[in-house]
Structure 1
Amino acid sequence: MSRATAASVQPIPRVALTWLLVAQAVVIIPHLEHLPLWIVALWLGCAAWRIQVFRMRASYPSGIAKLALVAAAGLGVWFSSGSLIGLDAGVVLLIAAFVIKLMELKTRRDAWVLILLGFFAVTTSYLFQDDIIAAAFSLLPVLALLAAAIGLQQSSFAARPMPTLRLAGGLLLQALPLMLLLFLLFPRMGPLWSLPLPGDKAMTGLSDSMAPGDMVELSQSSALAFRVSFDGQPPPRSLLYWRALTLERFDGLRWSTAFQRGDRPPQWQQRGTPLQYQVIMEPNGRPWLFALDAGQTSLNDARMMSDFHLERRLPVRQGLMYRATSWPEALLEPDDAARAQRINLSLPQGGNPQARAWAQQLRERYPQPAELVQAMLRSFREQPFRYTLRPPDAGSERIDGFLFDTRAGFCEHYAGAMTFVLRAAGIPARVVTGYQGGEASSSGNYLAIRQFDAHAWVEYWQRGRGWTRVDPTGAVAPERIEQGLEAALGQEGSFLESDPFSPLRYRNFALLNQLRMAWEDANYGWQRWVLGYQAEQQGDMLKRWFGGLDRQWIGALLIGGGALLLGLLALVLFKPWQRTADVQLRSFQRFERILAPLGMRREPGEGARDFCRRAIKVLPAHAQAIRDYLDAFEKQRYGGAAASPAELRGHLARLRRELPWRLRPSRGKGT
């Protein structure tokens, strides 16, 4: 059996087992939110059993017991996730294997398998959360896994956990320059495959259809939807209508999209001064992007659809940063009435007779679309309509019930009712969903748009003017548009009532709000400079650094820079300038390093013979090995014998093999 093979089947030292248990605990913690509780119970049971095995109070499980445990884990994944396929189930299976492997942990080879599994499990946590806290916490399991690996290799640390941890921390710090270099310069490639979001759930809450009550539920969430930073002064809040989708079909209850991927691009005319800005989206599992009207984006795989919303080819499954340009004064389809007439005048047969009758009255009195729209807005403003998150039931005829009975609702009630009446009056109209407004950061560098900023408004079509935005919510609750949802619901007290611990509910407390805004700024920087550092940003950076150099020269410079960095790191680690050419002195320094972990350190001015005598008193069982080394050293150093490095190395190797590494060393210096 070779030395490497023999080492791989040796028992696992206590310090390595300790750090493996710690690593498993800190690997599992970030997954607790989406792991079933039985995984935690499984780990506690496996850890307790393995500790008892180490204490020789229990035996390793039999093959049948391990097989039964694996089968039980598989059934547990099936019942908790509903499948053995998919991201959620795959991660649970991985964590279960990571835990069960602890039960058969016998040799160092088994420990290495567990360590590699641990590193892979750490990376899966980024599939669920990638903010600053998650990134900082992921260093803890990496540190514990490195400590376990060192405990397997460095026998002098086998009974000393803290020196092992310090060495692991030192290695991690030494790797940081290389990590930074690779992050900045390694080519940014797209994913080799695509995975669905956890649970296949969209985080924004917006969907491709809308019914009364949908936006009410969404308004109770303070989760971030996206952030925007403008090139220059941002427009007033009242103009910040972030388009997501256009809903053109109505079945009597729900509004839904009507566009198709094969639809032709829309016709529009750029007018006015464009706005340029950068958007950082949160993952939502949907393909559409957010932009002001009329928007264009720098993404190669995104385009403007026939209803003027922006859409990617693939869903946004991870944080996405893109630049966009918008023309708020653009004319949207000013001359093309065919599609507007075909889709945006259709209504279900029958239903809501009062709303239809009102539409005819308005049409007779106000023949011009703009006049009719203003008449509806005056009605919303002057009649006792209320803006509320607690709308009463409007009955089976929802439009009639809202307009003529309850007169209380949220943005989707007003947008849906107004669109219905406009269509009944012969004016093409549609509902647009997205977000309105945004909270400015403390530094003023960006706007944060959250779930409760979700909004619905109306577009109606006129020949020569195209699609024109109108927001009935602004007529009922202008403070919602000018100041935000919290101001509009101040008297009702329903803002984030289902989330009492949200810091956004306590923005009137100056200190708490300052701390929250500081944390928001830190997260924005993390998203922009770390998560948003993709191929486009890397290309811009390389152009700024290297100018007009071609890719071959840039590649050569990067390779040379990497080699230089590794060379500097090697110089710092090995310190060749501190090495002496004296063969015997270098050998004695190694002798001292062998004894140092056991508490034996040479005193200043103490000679070699006196130091060895002290060592013999502390380690009498190994006195002969120490004397043999001392004799060889003195003969070569002082007796005139020819220098023989191989002889000194042989005595050191013998001493290293014989020392009792499992014995806990004394922290004193010996006597």
Structure 2
Amino acid sequence: MTGHALIPRNSLVWLLTAQVVALAPHLPRLPLWVAVLWLGCALWRVQIQRMRWRYPGLLVRVLALLLVTGGVFLAQGTLIGLDAAVMLLLMLFMLKLLEMRRPRDALVVIYLGFFIVATAFLFDQSIPLALFQCFSLLVLVAALVGLQQTPGRNDPARAMRTGALLLLQAVPLMVVLFVLFPRMGPLWSVNAPGQQARTGLAESMAPGDIAELARSGELAFRAAFDGAVPAQPQLYWRALTLSRFDGRSWSRSRFNSAGTPPDWEPQGDPVSYRVVAPASNQPWVFSLRGASSTDERLVLTGDYLLQARRPLAQAMSYGASSRLDSLLQPGGLDPLQQRINLQLPEQGDPRSRAFAAQLRQAYPDDAALVQALLRHFNREPFHYTLRPSPLGQHSNDEFLFDSPRGFCVHFAGAMTFVLRAAGIPARIVAGYQGGEMNPRGNYVLVHQFDAHAWVEAWLPGQGWVSVDPTFQVAPERIERGLQEALAGEGSFLEDSPLAAARYRNIGWINDMRLFWDDINYQWQLRVLGYQSERQLDFFRRWLGTTDWQRVGLISLGLSLLIALPMALWILRPDRQPRDPQRRAWVKLNRRLGRLQLQAATGEGPRAWQQRLEHALPAQRDELGAFFDEYVRLGYATPPGAPTPAATQLNLALRALLQALPRTRPRRPITPLDLPGEGPRL
């Protein structure tokens, strides 16, 4: 058994509460044994406080450290990297409970809690988490306040009020620093090894992959246009080009994307827009045909796609401009590009190859052959569905001639194969098509079920021409979206019954969904998206300069402008005291000062009462009630006992203030007129 714990019991309650709120956002992504470990540490700490268990010795602490290190290694597969480091920090945060002996150790636990709160944003930056973390900060600051309270003055509500006041006082300075302080990569911009791609697209694609992706109602990205939004059939959001075919799946060719884009001819009116893309841990972003951007974080690739220079480890907001009628590489393909975009396996799909030969014989002109193939998809009994039949080794043959039921990637893959077999360079473009307009924020919502694949064929004099065989089979998919295209089949989001987008036809649900999404969009755009580019734009627009020296001086001036009045308000001489006795004394003294009956320096309550009763005999009963309660509250409480509530004192003060006259007596009574004095303050 140990001696009496030096950390008060009320402070331990605060510490355990602070740990719970700091750890809560991390627990859903951690193994169950982590929560069991915290419960064990908390129970041991409580038993120490009750003087029933001892503090763990050196051997136990070393063993515990080895065990949690091994647990992190088993859970993460490594001890190196962000995921493992955060998990190990959480474990040490829990074990620190067993080492606390003095208030200084408790302070270390609280300070660690602030770091734990920050690490939660490595994995999520949503509004609900941000609101919860504000509450976590409040609890941690209240724990700091509670650690300073004595057992006799333990007041949890007062600690929470003080913590809230401290945080509110910090808000103006926080806003100034957020807006004006140089934007560096936030903590959550560090790449987390455990993160997976969350865009839904992949660098390789088999016939059923996009069909599986289309079963998800998750948001892919948002796009806001400067002017009118283009028509739905023009919203082909390019992300990847797939040029390599192994007989089963299509994949990306690094050569096609490498280097600068070949010559192209921008045509048509420019369409300007801003995209907010979520973190994906992948470099590709989304743009319309003929895109360009002045954002230094983006580069235009050799296959005319905008791509980030680094994988998106955080949500990214970028501006782009597109000319939808642009000619892409009309001058011709070099021999290597020709070979890559005509590549087919040596064997496989013999009927598709024979069909391509028939088309070539009937249509010597490439453009005419492409149109003939599109008419084939339009006239034959192809069916657009999320429930395609399984395909075997010769997937294109089986789809074109035996089981003509498929999704967009089936049509795009089969058409690209036939075009290549006919000698026309072609490739698949993977991305998204269409989107849902949110009238509240005037932007387009693109979901994972909008994922789409279409074909680009190279034609002499025209360059890369986009053609979409899906439009020939299910034009409603392109013009009105996936839900309309699958209305008869009933397969739209059938695996996601809780997806809000599934109930877009119900007015009030749809209104709530769009309203919440608009809030999230503004959060992504104006808070998470407020990085160096947007900050410099803000400086140019509102400060008229981007010179950091001038910006620093403005920041310092605004900080002082906020801090000095706040400091003067906090330190003002006439500030109301928090002690209810002292507050009542000051209030009465201020009121009696108008009658020239204020308390003299060093005058005690009974002496002041006696003098007032001589000057105000009509108020003798009210004066007696107030001073009796004042003395009882201040002098009749045993040392160490909780202070009684000041309710009766406040009631007596209110009655006395109401009974006081509004004019001064004829002759003020001083302490010298009285035979004795009461106790001094």
TM range (shorter): 0.7 to 0.9
Shift of 1:615: 7.0
1:517 to 507, 514, 518: 514
Work out which of the residue numbers 241, 249, 252 in structure 1 matches 2:244. 249
Structure 1 residue 211 and structure 2 residue 200: aligned?
no
1:506 paired residue number: 503
Aligned equivalent of 2:579, options 593, 603, 612: 593
Which residue does the alignment assign to 2:319? 323
Distance, in Å, in 1 between the alignment partners of 2:188 and 2:382 is 51
Q: CA deviation at 1:157?
A: 8.0
Residues 426-471 of structure 1: per-residue CA shift (max 9 Å, x gap): 1110001011111111325101111111111100001110000001
Contact 2:637-2:643 at 8 Å conserved across structures:
no
Alpha carbons 1:24, 1:141 under 8 Å: kept: no
**In 2 relative to 1, CA 520–193 (structure 1 residues): closer, same or farther, beyond 3 Å?**
closer
Aligned amino acid, residue 579 of structure 2: R
CA distance in 2, matches of 1:488, 1:622: 79
Counterpart CA distance in 1 for 2:80 and 2:360 is: 57
Question: 3-state SS of the aligned residue for 2:275?
Answer: strand
Q: How does 1:106-185 map to 2 (within 5 A)?
A: 106-155=101-150, 158-185=153-180
CA contact (8 A) 2:291 2:321 kept: yes
| 1:520-535 correspondence to structure 2 within 5 Å | 520-535=517-532
| 2-structure distance, mates of 1:106, 1:178 | 35
- Structure 1 residues 209-248: Cα deviation after superposition (integer angstroms, max 9, x where no partner): 1111111221122222211000100100111011101111
Query: For the residues of structure 1 that align with 2:289 and 2:545, how far apart are their CA atoms?
Result: 36
Looking at structure 2, the residues matched to 74 and 595 of structure 1 have their Cα atoms a distance apart, in angstroms, of 54
1:264 positional shift = 3.7
Question: Offset of 1:622 from its aligned partner?
Answer: 8.6
Q: CA–CA distance in 2 between the matches of 1:358 and 1:449?
A: 36
Residues 507, 192 of structure 1: alpha-carbon distance in 2 compared, 3 angstrom cutoff: closer
Detail structure 1 runs of 4+ shifted over 6 Å in the superposition.
Answer: 594-597, 600-603, 611-616, 619-623
TM-score normalised to structure 2 length = 0.85
Contact 1:223/1:451 (8 A) holds in 2: yes
TM-align CA RMSD: 2.6
Residue 556 and residue 194 in structure 1: after superposition, are their counterparts in 2 closer, same or farther (change >3 A)?
closer
Partner residue, 2:367: 370
For residue 276 of structure 2, what is the aligned residue in structure 1?
Answer: 280
Question: What is the CA–CA distance in structure 2 between the aligned matches of 1:209 and 1:335, rounded to whole Å?
Answer: 29
Amino acid at match of 1:365: A
Give 1:158 deviation, angstroms: 4.9
Structure 2 CA distance for partners of 1:622 and 1:409, relative to 1, 3 Å:
closer
Q: Paired residues, what number?
A: 613
Q: 2:440 aligns with which of 423, 443, 462?
A: 443
* Mapped pair 1:95 → 2:55: no
**Looking at CA atoms only, which structure, 1 or 2, has the larger radius of gyration?**
2
Structure 2 partner of 1:399: 396
1:78 CA displacement? 1.7
Query: Relative to structure 1, is the Cα distance of residues 285 and 158 closer, same or farther in structure 2, using a 3 angstrom cutoff?
Result: farther
Matches within 5 A, 1:58-73: 58-73=53-68
Asked if structure 2 preserves the Cα contact closer than 8 Å seen for 1:386 and 1:409, the reply is yes
The residue type paired with residue 544 of structure 2 is: G
Q: Counterpart of 1:200 in 2: which secondary structure? A: coil
Structure-1 residue corresponding to 2:262: 266
Provide the rounded CA distance (Å) in 1 between the counterparts of 2:442 and 2:543: 28
Mapped to 2, the partners of 1:203 and 1:445 lie a distance apart of 25
Displacement of 1:532: 0.9
Shift of 1:286: 0.6
C-alpha distance after superposition, 1:103-129 (max 9, x if no partner): 222211111111111100101111111
Asked if 1:335 is matched to 2:338, the reply is: no
Within 2, Cα distance between the matches of 1:229 and 1:301? Answer: 19
Match for 1:496 among 488, 493, 497?
493
**Is the partner of 1:113 in helix, strand or coil?**
helix
Query: How far apart, CA to CA, are the structure 2 residues paired with 1:549 and 1:391?
Result: 57
Of the three residues 177, 195, 205, the one matched with 1:200 is 195
1:43 equivalent among 14, 38, 44: 38
Equivalent residue number for residue 303 of structure 1: 299
1:84–1:90 CA contact under 8 A, matched in 2? yes
Q: Using the alignment, how far apart are the partners of 1:10 and 1:68 within structure 2?
A: 24
Which residue of 1 is the match for residue 616 of structure 2?
Answer: none
Equivalent positions of 1:417-428 (< 5 A) are 417-428=414-425
How far apart are residue 58 of structure 1 and its match?
3.0
Question: What is the distance in 2 between the residues matched to 1:157 and 1:32?
Answer: 35
Listed as ranges, the gaps of 5+ residues in structure 1 are: 1-8, 580-588, 624-658
Counterparts of 2:165 and 2:64, CA distance in 1: 38
Q: C-alpha separation between the residues in 1 aligned to 2:99 and 2:628?
A: 45
Matches of 2:587 and 2:572, distance apart in 1: 24
1:467 and 2:464 equivalent? Answer: yes
3-state SS of 1:33 partner: helix
Question: How far apart are the structure 1 equivalents of 2:292 and 2:605?
Answer: 82
Q: What is the deviation of 1:198?
A: 5.8
Q: CA deviation at 1:336?
A: 2.0
Q: Is the 8 A contact 2:279 2:315 kept in 1?
A: yes
Distance 2:227 2:648 in 1: 71
Cα distance in 1 for partners of 2:153, 2:411 equals 71
SS of residue matched to 1:311: strand
Secondary structure (helix, strand or coil) at the match of 1:228 reads strand
Contact 1:215 1:455 in 2 (8 A): yes
Higher mean C-alpha deviation, range 386-395 or range 82-91? 82-91
**How many Å apart are 1:26 and its aligned residue?**
1.4
Aligned residue for 2:464, secondary structure, equals strand
Report the identity percentage. Answer: 47
> Is 2:73 the partner of 1:78?
yes
User: Matched residues in 1 for 2:71 and 2:525: separation?
Assistant: 39
The equivalent of 1:457 in structure 2 is 454
Q: Which deviates further from its counterpart, 217-226 or 235-244?
A: 217-226
1:104 maps to 2:99? yes
Quote how far apart the aligned CAs of 1:21 are: 1.3
Change in Cα spacing, 1:514 to 1:670, as seen in structure 2 (3 Å) is closer
Measure, in 2, the Cα distance between the counterparts of 1:10 and 1:147.
21
Structure 1 residues 54 and 426, CA gap change in structure 2 (3 angstroms): same
- Secondary structure of the 1:19 match is helix
**Offset of 1:249 from its aligned partner?**
1.1
Bigger drift between 293-302 and 392-401 goes to 293-302
